[in-house]
Chains A and B, each alone.
Chain A
C-alpha cells in the first residue's frame, strides 16, 4: 500500500516538475517571440520615422515648414501648398518630365538588350558563358563615378552632350548588368521542359517562347524594368555630369539649385523623389532576393 502511495506522490511531483518546465519553456518562447517583435518594430521605426518626418514636411504649409519647434503631430496643418510651391518652381516640371523620359528610355533599352542575354545564359551552355557571367558581375561593381567623366568627354566630342538620350544610354549601361542577371534567373525559373513540351505538341521554338515562356516571365521582367526605372530616377552623379545644362533631370535640378533654394522646396523635392521608391519597392520586393541573391552563387 505504502509502495503505491509513494509511486503516486512521486508521479505527482514529477508532473509538477514537468509543468514547471513547460511553463519555463513557454515563457522562454514567448520572450523570444517578443524579442523578435521588439527588434522588428524598432528597426521598422528606424526606417519609418524619417519618412514620416519628410512626408509631414512636404504635406503642410510652407509656414509650418519654417516654424519652430515643429509640431509633434505630423501633417498639421495638412496642406498641399508646399508641394504646389515646389512643383511650380522653375525647372521642376521640366525636370520631372526629363527624369521620366530618361527612365523610360533606359527601361526599354536595357530590357531589350538584356532579355536575349539573360535567356542565353539561362538556357544554353556555351563556351565563354562563365566568362560572360563573371565579367557582368565585375562590370556591375564598377563605380558610376569612374564612367561619367570619360563619357562626358566622348559625348562632347560627338556633340551629344547635355542630351537626354545619351544620358539614358549611360543609365542603360549602369542598369544592364543587373538586368541581365535578374532576367537570367527569371528565365531559369521556367523549366526548359515546358518549352520542349510545347515543341513536342507542335510549336516552333519561337512560338513556344511566345506562348509558354513569355507569359510566365512577364512579371519578372516587369519587376526588373521597375527596378531599372527607379535606378535611373534616382541617379544623380552621372546625370549632373552628362546633362547639367538644358536637360536637367529632377535630381540634378534639385542638387544644382540646392544652395539657393528654400527649405520647403528642398523638403518637397526630397519627398517627391522618395515616392517611386515607396511604391515600386512594394511591388517588386519579392524579386529583390532574386536579384541580389543570385550573385553569391
Chain B
C-alpha cells in the first residue's frame, strides 16, 4: 500500500514559483502521468516528491508516511532519469545492484534481483558490459532495470523516453506499459509527449505554470477538457476554438458564429442563458465535425483553405467566422483548396468555454 499524497506543495526558485500550491493523490498501484509543456513545473514536482529538492510549503506523504523533509534515500522510492544517469564506471550488473548494495541487501538476494530485473528488460546477456559500449536504448533498459530491481512501491520516471529516437520510443513505450502493469508499483511519470501520456497513464495531470489544470483519466482529459489550455494542449491537431456570440431567439439560446447560428444541446441551455449577449468559445475536435460535399440543413458553408493529406485522414483548414478551424475527413474525401464544403457540428461534441475565465462549462 503506497499511495502518494501531495498536499498544497509549493516550490520556489528565488522569485520564480515553479510549483504553485499543488495537490494531487496517486492511488496505490496507479500509473499517473504529469503532462505539460516545458517549464510548467512537472519535473520540479517530481523532484520534490523524490526529495531532490525540498518543498517550500505543503506536505508529501507516501503510503501514509510523511516524507516531506526526508532525504531521498529514506523515502523508499526509485527513479528513472531523463539522461538515464547510468554510472559510467560500473558494469550493467553493478549499476543494477547499486541501490541494493547501498541498502545492504545480502549478496544472494542482490544477485537474484539483478538477474530478474535484467531478464525483464532483456539485457541479461549484457551484465558484464560497460555503459559506454551500449546504445541509447540499451542504457535506457539498464536505467529501468536498476529502478525496478529495488522493488520499491513507488517508481518515479522523468521523461524516460525523451532521449530515444522515434521508432525506439514507440517500441519502448509499449514495453514499459507491459512492465509497469506487471510490477504493480505506484508510478508517477513525467512527460511532455501527450501520446505517451494518453497511451500509458491511468490518470493524467496536465500542468501549466506550476499548477495542475486537470487530473483525470485519459479519455476525460481528451474529451472533456476543463479549460481552453487543456483542450488546445492535448490532441493532434488540438481542439478547435471559435469565438461566438450568445443570443436568444424564440426563447432558445443560440450562438452566432459569423452568419451561422448554432443551437446548443438542451442540457447546456440553462448554463448558456447566463451568457446572453456575451462572447463565448466554442470548442470542437477536428474529427468530431461532419463534413459534407452538398448543402444540408444545420450545416455551415465554408471554403477550404488548405488540404493536408495525412494518410489515415485528410486534414482541411477552413475559415469559420474569424477563426481557422481544422477538420478531419476520410481520406477518400477529395477536395481542392478553394472548394466550398459544408460542416455540421454534432451538439454533443461541442464544448463551451467561458471567454474570460477560459474554463469549460459543463452541465452539472
9-residue interface stretch from A18-26, A50-58, A207-215, A216-224 = A18-26
User: Could you tell me the distance between the alpha carbons of A41 and B170 in the complex, rounded to whole angstroms?
Assistant: 53
User: Could you tell me the distance between the alpha carbons of A290 and B68 in the complex, rounded to whole angstroms?
Assistant: 40
List, in ascending order, chain B residues with CB within 8 A of A18's CB. Answer: 59, 66, 68-69
B71 within 8 A of A: yes
List, in ascending order, chain A residues with CB within 8 A of B71's CB. Answer: 25
The count of chain B contact residues (Cβ–Cβ below 8 Å) is 7
B70 within 8 A of A: yes
User: Could you tell me the distance between the alpha carbons of A25 and B70 in the complex, rounded to whole angstroms?
Assistant: 7
CB distance from A99 to the nearest CB of B (A): 45
User: Could you tell me the distance between the alpha carbons of A25 and B68 in the complex, rounded to whole angstroms?
Assistant: 10
A14 within 8 A of B: yes
Q: Chain B binding site: helix, strand, loop or mixed by DSSP? A: loop
Are the C-beta atoms of B69 and A25 separated by less than 8 Å? yes
Interface positions, chain A 9-55, Cβ under 8 Å from B, are: 14-15, 17-18, 21-22, 25-26
CB distance from A6 to the nearest CB of B (A): 16
Interface positions, chain B 289-310, Cβ under 8 Å from A, are: none
User: Could you tell me the distance between the alpha carbons of A14 and B61 in the complex, rounded to whole angstroms?
Assistant: 11
User: Could you tell me the distance between the alpha carbons of A272 and B227 in the complex, rounded to whole angstroms?
Assistant: 71
Interface positions, chain B 61-117, Cβ under 8 Å from A, are: 66, 68-71
CB distance from B271 to the nearest CB of A (A): 39
List, in ascending order, chain B residues with CB within 8 A of A25's CB. Answer: 54, 69-71
Name the CB-closest residue of B to A15. B66
List, in ascending order, chain A residues with CB within 8 A of B70's CB. Answer: 21, 25
List, in ascending order, chain A residues with CB within 8 A of B69's CB. Answer: 18, 21-22, 25-26
CB distance from A15 to the nearest CB of B (A): 8
List, in ascending order, chain B residues with CB within 8 A of A26's CB. Answer: 69
User: Could you tell me the distance between the alpha carbons of A22 and B66 in the complex, rounded to whole angstroms?
Assistant: 10
User: Could you tell me the distance between the alpha carbons of A26 and B69 in the complex, rounded to whole angstroms?
Assistant: 9
CB distance from B78 to the nearest CB of A (A): 21
User: Could you tell me the distance between the alpha carbons of A25 and B71 in the complex, rounded to whole angstroms?
Assistant: 8
User: Could you tell me the distance between the alpha carbons of A15 and B66 in the complex, rounded to whole angstroms?
Assistant: 8
CB distance from A47 to the nearest CB of B (A): 31
List, in ascending order, chain A residues with CB within 8 A of B66's CB. Answer: 14-15, 17-18, 21
User: Could you tell me the distance between the alpha carbons of A263 and B24 in the complex, rounded to whole angstroms?
Assistant: 74
List, in ascending order, chain A residues with CB within 8 A of B68's CB. Answer: 18, 22
Interface positions, chain A 110-166, Cβ under 8 Å from B, are: none
User: Could you tell me the distance between the alpha carbons of A14 and B5 in the complex, rounded to whole angstroms?
Assistant: 15
* A171-192 Cβ-contact flags toward B at 8 Å (1 or 0): 0000000000000000000000
User: Could you tell me the distance between the alpha carbons of A17 and B333 in the complex, rounded to whole angstroms?
Assistant: 67
CB distance from B89 to the nearest CB of A (A): 14
User: Could you tell me the distance between the alpha carbons of A21 and B70 in the complex, rounded to whole angstroms?
Assistant: 7
CB distance from A33 to the nearest CB of B (A): 14
List, in ascending order, chain B residues with CB within 8 A of A14's CB. Answer: 66
User: Could you tell me the distance between the alpha carbons of A21 and B59 in the complex, rounded to whole angstroms?
Assistant: 13
Instruction: Identify the interface centre among A15, A22, A26: most chain B CB within 10 Å of its CB.
Output: A22
Name the CB-closest residue of B to A19. B69
List, in ascending order, chain B residues with CB within 8 A of A21's CB. Answer: 66, 69-70
Name the CB-closest residue of B to A18. B66
CB distance from A107 to the nearest CB of B (A): 39
CB distance from B118 to the nearest CB of A (A): 31
CB distance from B64 to the nearest CB of A (A): 9
CB distance from A50 to the nearest CB of B (A): 38
* B46-68 Cβ-contact flags toward A at 8 Å (1 or 0): 00000000100001000000101
Q: A17-B66, A18-B59, A21-B69 are in contact. List 4 more A-B contacts (CB 8 A).
A: A18-B69, A21-B66, A22-B69, A25-B70
A-B pairs, 8 with minimum CB distance: A22-B69, A18-B66, A25-B69, A21-B69, A14-B66, A21-B70, A18-B68, A18-B69
A-B contacts, 17 listed (Cβ < 8 Å): A14-B66, A15-B66, A17-B66, A18-B59, A18-B66, A18-B68, A18-B69, A21-B66, A21-B69, A21-B70, A22-B68, A22-B69, A25-B54, A25-B69, A25-B70, A25-B71, A26-B69
